Amino acid sequence: MSSPEQTQLLFRRYQLAEIFHIPLRDINLKALLDSDFTTIADDLGISLSELEQVLAEPLDERWQLLERRTPLPANTLRCAVASMDGEWINGHFSRCPIMYVYDVSESGTSIVGLRKMPEEAGEMGHQGRVNAINDCQLLFVAAIGGPAAARVIRADIYPMKVRNVEAIEQTLERLCERLSSGSLPPWLKKVMGQSWQMEDWSA
């Protein structure tokens, strides 16, 4: 199971990389030594102690998650999640700056990628976003427009609209339970087929 703390660390590092135009792997206390940490913390909406923890925590190989694409293990679903903070499914497909990518199986979940989304609007932006997650089978979003949903479905990605804002961890744990139950609901069985419509996750 990927911890929410790990996901939050990656998200905060990503935010700092965007603010300072520094590669994600180079974000640390030394790189930002001359910066006003109080202002940075306020910009991120976190406390000064939380910022210091983010900068002090070794990132080791996890920075590679920003662009990583790995082979899909057997009996596993790859899920893209639209989140504005790395904790909740609260992102609109067309406006979310990054997508979180998880592998979910009967044995648990793991975060396997962070995908930076293109900034273009309209049809070009929709297609660029689909291309960024085209190795996924499921997409969890808080909202998605009709034209964007059509493009997602044409790419054989199954969009799941979360009716109420839910924690990523909670949602993926529920998916894991459904996989391990051995009795899959119709919408999940459809993932293996081609006749898809957008589903409400709460259904």
- The pLDDT of residue 65 is 61
Conformational region of residue 165, where left means phi above 0, alpha means psi within -120 to 50, and beta covers everything else: beta
pLDDT for 114: 82
Residue (of 115, 104, 109, 110) closest to 82 by Cα position? 115
For the chain, domains (ranges, CATH) are 4-63 (no CATH), 77-200 (3.30.420.130)
Closest CA to 159 of 167, 169, 150, 168: 150
* Token pair 């911890």: residue: 3
- pLDDT value for 195: 42
Residues 6+ apart with CB under 8 A from 49: none
Q: Which long-range contacts (CB under 8 A, 24 or more apart) does 43-47 make?
A: 43/19, 44/12, 44/15, 44/16, 46/12
pLDDT at 79 (0 to 100): 94
CB 44 within 8 A of CB 15: yes
* Residue 29 confidence (pLDDT): 58
Task: At 143, list the tokens.
Answer: 């909202």
In Å, what is the CA distance from 196 to each residue of 42, 70, 97, 153, 157?
43, 25, 26, 7, 9
DSSP label at residue 106 = T
| CA gap 26, 59 in Å, rounded | 9
**β strands within the chain, DSSP E:** 77-82, 88-89, 98-105, 108-116, 138-141, 158-161, 166-167, 199-200
| CB-based contact 17:32 (threshold 8 Å) | no
Look up residue 92 and give its DSSP letter: B
pLDDT along the chain (203 residues), means of 10: 62 72 63 70 77 68 63 85 90 90 89 83 84 94 92 92 88 88 72 50 50
Within a 10 A sphere around the Cβ of 201, how many other Cβ atoms? 19
